Structures are given as C-alpha cells and as structure tokens.
Structure 1
Amino acid sequence: MRPRRARDTRRRELSQNFLRGKEVAGWFVDLSDLNPRGLVLEVGGGEGIISEAAAARCRELKVYELDAAFVAKLEKRLSHHGNIHVVAGDFLSARPPDETFQVIGNVPFSITAPVIDWCLNAVALDSATFITQLEYARKRTGDFGRWSLLTVRTWPFFSWELRGRISRTEFRPVPRVDAGVLQLIQRARPLIPSSRYRAYERMVELGFTGVGGSLHASLSTRFPTARVSRAFAAAGVERDRVVAFVHPSEWLDIFEALNARG
C-alpha cells in the first residue's frame, strides 16, 4: 500500500478528516468569533491548518492532539507562534480552565457527542465552535424543524446555532457526508434561575418520554390536565403538537405557565 493511501486509511479508522485548504480554515476561524485577548482550546490539531489561522486571533491557543504521529509535526509547524502550546494528550481528559475560554476544532465525527458534553459541563466556557457532521449540526440546532432532547434541556444556559456548511470535498480523506459548523454559546444570563433548572429538566425529560403521543399528553401524566391546557394556551402551543416540534422557547413558556402562581 502506498504511504499516502495507508495514511488516509488510518485517518478513516480514527475518523480524521482534515481540511484541505487555508481559505476554509480561515473562514471557520472567522465564524468562531475568537476573543483576541482570550484563551482558546483546540480539539485535535491534526495538521495545524486551523491552529495557524487561529494563532493571530487570540492571546493563547492550546492545541490538543491525541495522535502521536501528529504531535511532533504540529510542534514543528507551529513553533514560530509564541502563543501556541501543543498538548500531547486527550482533550476529553483535560480539566476545564478556571478563566473564561473558547473551544474550536475540526472534531473527529466519532467523538462529537463526548466533546459537546465536556463543553456543556465547563463552567467558564464562553463558546465552542466545531466542524461536525452536517446531520449532527442540523439536528442539534433545529435546522430540520425538529428539536432534540439535549438542545431543549440545555437551552436555558446555551444557544445552539448552525453557522455554515462545508462540502465533503474540502476534506482529506473525503468523508461520506458534508460537514456543518456548529456553535454553542453559554448565555451571559440563564433564561431561568439555576435554582429552578432541575424542575425544568424533569419536565423536559417527561415530555420526551412520548407517553400519549404528544407533549400535552405526556405532561398530563404528572400535572392536572386543565393546568397543562392553560399552560399550552398561554404559550401558544397546540395540544396535539408532537414533542420534537416544540421550539425550546415554547418549552420555557410552558414551564413558566405551569409554575405560575395564582
């Protein structure tokens, strides 16, 4: 097997699909809206194309790379950037910084979910901008017209946005599907108080059980039906609306109406 073909086979096995050109990498970094005075973590430096584009956009960049085959190459390629530190290790094992920080990366498709979970649990996170499978990005941001449990559950604290799309032909090796740019931003002020979040989360989890075939029916298994009906009317949500088609902001309206006094 020729060296390049062997290398591409290894990348496919590790779910590594690297951007081919600097132009797309620069466009991605532009979308990330990095703080020029801030700390940025990059998930999977790979060949360093995103790292180089981000170097001039932040105070400090920590590039995490698990694949030993790329660590030395990254250190050599990025050595002239005094604000870049290459970390040989697993990003998922890193302790989140105490200071405000941002995360970027062309995330291996196979670890998108755990990387997102890491970010959601990082107290000081400002934003996270990732290249993911397009379908994943569309699912999490409501681009299909439907909303996932994870998005609705975290909506009081995070916004989810599909910032752009990248053709599969912009990667090497070429993946089977196009990619999307997914941005997760932690809200400066939560949409509900932290003290009430557990009650909201329980309501959302109940709603997604699918009992009765509609959100109204599911919530009526815990709350009085008349009370649920009044909450739906106040939120402007039809009683027969299927759970996945209820916008996160409508969930919050229903929650507030269900818990209104008087």
Structure 2
Amino acid sequence: MSRNRSVRTPVSRPASPPGRATAGAHELGQNLLVDREVVDRVVDLVPDADRPLVEWAAGRGALTLPLARLGRPVEAVEIDPRSTARLARVVPANVTVTRADILRHAPPSDPYDLVCNVPFHLTTPVLRRLFTLPDWQRAVLVTQWEVARKRAAVGGATLLTAQWWPWFAPRLDRRVPAAAFRPRPSVDAGILLLDRRAEPLLPVARRRDYQRFAAAVFNGPGRGLHEILVRQGLSRADVRRWAREHRVAPGALPRDLDARAWVVAFTVASRGR
C-alpha cells in the first residue's frame, strides 16, 4: 500500500472564510478533546464494520490517530490549515487529510461511518446537514450536553428529533465533563449516537409530508395533543384509539411522543385527507 499523507484541499471554494486562514482551533470554535478515556469511548462506539470512516472537525488529531488504528480508511476533515498541515505529517497510510468546511464537505458515495467532535456553535447546522446526507450508517457525535439529551429525546423530544425519527435512531451514551476539553468550555458535553434505521418507519418519499405534519403538531394550537391532533384532521375516535394504543396521557404534549406514535398519528391523519 502506498502512503497517503497529502492534504486534499477543495478547489471550488476557499477552505476557510476570509480573515480566518490562520485561525487556530479555539478561534474556529472548537474545544479539543484531551481526555483519553473519552477518546477511547468514542472509538469503541464506532461499529465493527468493513467500511470507511469520516471524521469531521479533526482538529489536531486526538480522535484521528486512534481511529486510524482500527485499520479502516479514514478521511480526516479540518478547516484550520495549521491543523491539517500537522495532521498530514503524522497520520499513517490509511488516513487522508482533507482541508475543508465540514458544512460543505462532500463525503463518500458508499456506506461509511462518521465521527465528529462538533464545534458547539455549529451543532444545529451539523445535525441538519448530517440528516440530509444519504450514505452514513452510524454517527458518533460529541455535542453540548443539553443538545445530546434533547436529540436523544431524554426528557422529551424536540421538533428536529421528531422530524427525523422515522429514518434515524438517536441514543445518548454518556455525559462528558467540560474538563475533558482544551480550552475548557463553559458547559459539559455528551456523546450522541445516531444510527440510520435498517428498516425505516416511513418511506423516504413521504418525508416531506411527514415533516410538515410534525411541525404542524408541534406548533399547532390546542390544549394538549388530543385537541391538536383533531385540528390536524384526526377524528376524536381515532385520537382516542391512537392514545390508548400508544399510552398517550390526556395532557400529553408533542415532546412526549415516541417515534412510532408519531408515525401512526401521521398515517391516520393522512388517511383522512
């Protein structure tokens, strides 16, 4: 195998915005992982599969080098030119370093797994982009603690989680203390797992209609889910039957539903249209 330590830089767009070409990791909003136990846990959560790995926001390689030891092809994506230059000097042959904006990066067109220590200020854009990419199978993400909890529907689901639940299964792994990073952030982080469902709860062709329905329910008027769903086209008899089947309390709110309850409510509402 030939060694591949070159840095690939997209030519269609500057790798960093004007004025940020020499910015360091902290200036780019990144808190670097320095806790070996956390790094080992992230690597352990990567599935044992024969497919490439993509690491977004690779920074200075705290995760890159342990991921490389899995023996799989790794693409490490980082916007900071100093970090990419350093990585290119130290990575083994199975790692390609790409200097790019993770919100514009073009990942492989075949199945792969993704790892990212998410820059906290980019959490929502990263998640929204990730959900629209077609080929990744598992994403292991380090995000702000409250974001990790919300996306895993711990204590209640958010609209973003509900809108993508039929196609992706989120899970909260653990809390990561702020002391695990340098510079130290003001809040703790969490490890969030996202798995693409092998059998989606809805066909992709129905995604747009389902997501409109979820948004209408989350934002719809009414005192409690029963009234909201009636206003979305379900009969009162259908709502009572649905609530019994999914153990939805009379005073429940949209954030209290699980993935299957959402899908069945949407299916019943669609039949009435």
Distance in 1 separating the partners of 2:86 and 2:267: 53
Give yes or no for the alignment of 1:105 onto 2:119.
no
Give yes or no for the alignment of 1:17 onto 2:24.
no
Instruction: Give 1:209 shift.
Output: 0.8
Instruction: Give 1:259 shift.
Output: 5.1
Runs of 5+ consecutive residues of structure 2 not aligned to the other structure: 1-22
Give yes or no for the alignment of 1:47 onto 2:60.
yes
Equivalent residue number for residue 139 of structure 1: 150
> Among residues 119, 125, 128, which one is paired with 2:130 in the alignment?
119
Partner AA of 2:203 in structure 1: P
TM-score, normalised by the number of residues in structure 2: 0.84
Could you tell me whether the CA contact under 8 Å between 1:232 and 1:254 is conserved in 2? no
Partner AA of 1:239 in structure 2: P
> Among residues 32, 41, 54, which one is paired with 2:46 in the alignment?
32
Could you tell me whether the CA contact under 8 Å between 2:144 and 2:190 is conserved in 1? yes
Equivalent residue number for residue 75 of structure 1: 88
> Among residues 205, 214, 221, which one is paired with 1:204 in the alignment?
214
Give yes or no for the alignment of 1:65 onto 2:70.
no
Could you tell me whether the CA contact under 8 Å between 1:64 and 1:87 is conserved in 2? yes
Query: Structure 1 residues 254 and 56, CA, compared in 2 at 3 Å: closer, same or farther?
Result: same
Root-mean-square deviation (Å): 2.1
The percentage of counterpart residues that share the same residue type is 32
Equivalent residue number for residue 220 of structure 1: 230
Distance in 2 separating the partners of 1:180 and 1:224: 38
Could you tell me whether the CA contact under 8 Å between 2:24 and 2:82 is conserved in 1? no
Could you tell me whether the CA contact under 8 Å between 1:229 and 1:239 is conserved in 2? no
Distance in 1 separating the partners of 2:196 and 2:223: 32
Partner AA of 1:89 in structure 2: A
| Greater mean alpha carbon deviation, residues 231-240 or residues 41-50 | 231-240
| Greater mean alpha carbon deviation, residues 51-60 or residues 23-32 | 23-32
Equivalent residue number for residue 166 of structure 2: 156
Query: Structure 1 residues 53 and 163, CA, compared in 2 at 3 Å: closer, same or farther?
Result: same
Instruction: Give 1:20 shift.
Output: 1.4
Partner AA of 1:231 in structure 2: W
Could you tell me whether the CA contact under 8 Å between 1:231 and 1:258 is conserved in 2? no
Distance in 2 separating the partners of 1:138 and 1:170: 18
Q: Which has the higher helix share?
A: 1
Instruction: Give 1:234 shift.
Output: 3.3
Instruction: Give 1:260 shift.
Output: 6.4
| Greater mean alpha carbon deviation, residues 26-35 or residues 42-51 | 26-35
Could you tell me whether the CA contact under 8 Å between 1:40 and 1:62 is conserved in 2? yes
Equivalent residue number for residue 103 of structure 2: 92
Query: Structure 1 residues 11 and 56, CA, compared in 2 at 3 Å: closer, same or farther?
Result: closer
TM-score, normalised by the number of residues in structure 1: 0.87
Query: Structure 1 residues 224 and 255, CA, compared in 2 at 3 Å: closer, same or farther?
Result: closer
Partner AA of 1:63 in structure 2: A
| Greater mean alpha carbon deviation, residues 206-215 or residues 37-46 | 206-215
Equivalent residue number for residue 188 of structure 1: 198
Instruction: Give 1:56 shift.
Output: 1.9
SS at match of 2:157: coil
Instruction: Give 1:34 shift.
Output: 4.8
Query: Structure 1 residues 156 and 193, CA, compared in 2 at 3 Å: closer, same or farther?
Result: same
Instruction: Give 1:52 shift.
Output: 0.5
Distance in 2 separating the partners of 1:134 and 1:23: 17
